[in-house]
Amino acid sequence: MAVGAHPDDIEILAAGTLAKYRQQGHEVAMCILTDGSLGSDTGSSEQTAQIRRSEAQESAAIIGAGIYWIGRPDGFLTDDRDTRSLVAESLRDFAPDLVLAHSPNDYHPDHRCAGLITLACRQLATAPLFETQSPTLERTPQVVYMDNLALIGSAPEQWVDISETIEAKRQMLRCHRSQNEWMRRSEGIDYLDFLEKQSSIRGLQCGVEHAEGFRRAHVFPASPADLIFDLK
């Protein structure tokens, strides 16, 4: 399971890895914490959230990923009891072996908060006295940090070769039409070009065409390093 702050973060940072897991027969899910309602300069925030939710669903469907839409307000993600409860319930419902989380030094406050919430919920999901709808997890899932957006301040320790799944990643990112249009207008950035550069740089670092980078979260309980990515 990947946990992202906004509806397009997981695609940018880890979609190639999720697609690779799917190719190898694993179940994957995307847990999206905010509603993305600030991600536009046209229409209302309600309309934006609605558009972004349907874009996220369209994207997840490309690789057959499950979606957990937590729906907290974009730009104001806070680590509170209600949010933890919803995220812990998602973890319990999906019961992942591995969780991909935002790194604590990412540029966006929502990203950093999402990372903290993910770590907190990894523990809470195993605590029998913290009740949600689904039963307690028997095993604490392993957590790995995704790269930061635009790779700023990221120092990956592990790389996943996504050369075979880059096309799925491209298709998923193309679903986020509202963001591509907005980023073009506001920042002069083309989404797909952005993605190509990021994955090419990571590919260059590990001798393949395209890659995604990750860093182990040094937390307890930990799994042996070789169990983090069981990808061929």
Residues found near Zn ion in the complex (CB under 5 A): 5-6, 9
List CB contacts of 80: < 8 A, sequence separation 6 or more: none
Are the C-beta atoms of 144 and 228 separated by less than 8 Å? yes
Nearer to Zn ion by Cβ, of 5 and 211: the residue is: 5
> In the bound complex, what is the minimum distance in angstroms from residue 9's beta carbon to Zn ion?
4
Nearer to Zn ion by Cβ, of 68 and 132: the residue is: 68
> In the bound complex, what is the minimum distance in angstroms from residue 198's beta carbon to Zn ion?
14
> In the bound complex, what is the minimum distance in angstroms from residue 150's beta carbon to Zn ion?
11
Separation between Cα atoms, residue 173 and residue 158, nearest integer Å:
23
Nearer to Zn ion by Cβ, of 31 and 137: the residue is: 31
Instruction: Describe the strand order of the beta sheet including 142-146 as a list of residue ranges.
Output: 66-72, 29-34, 2-4, 98-101, 142-146, 211-216, 158-161
> In the bound complex, what is the minimum distance in angstroms from residue 23's beta carbon to Zn ion?
26
Nearer to Zn ion by Cβ, of 16 and 115: the residue is: 115
CA-wise closest residue to 39 among 112, 134, 108: 108
Separation between Cα atoms, residue 13 and residue 35, nearest integer Å:
18
Nearer to Zn ion by Cβ, of 183 and 201: the residue is: 183
Are the C-beta atoms of 160 and 229 separated by less than 8 Å? yes
Q: Which uninterrupted H or E stretch holds 146?
A: strand 142-146
> In the bound complex, what is the minimum distance in angstroms from residue 148's beta carbon to Zn ion?
10
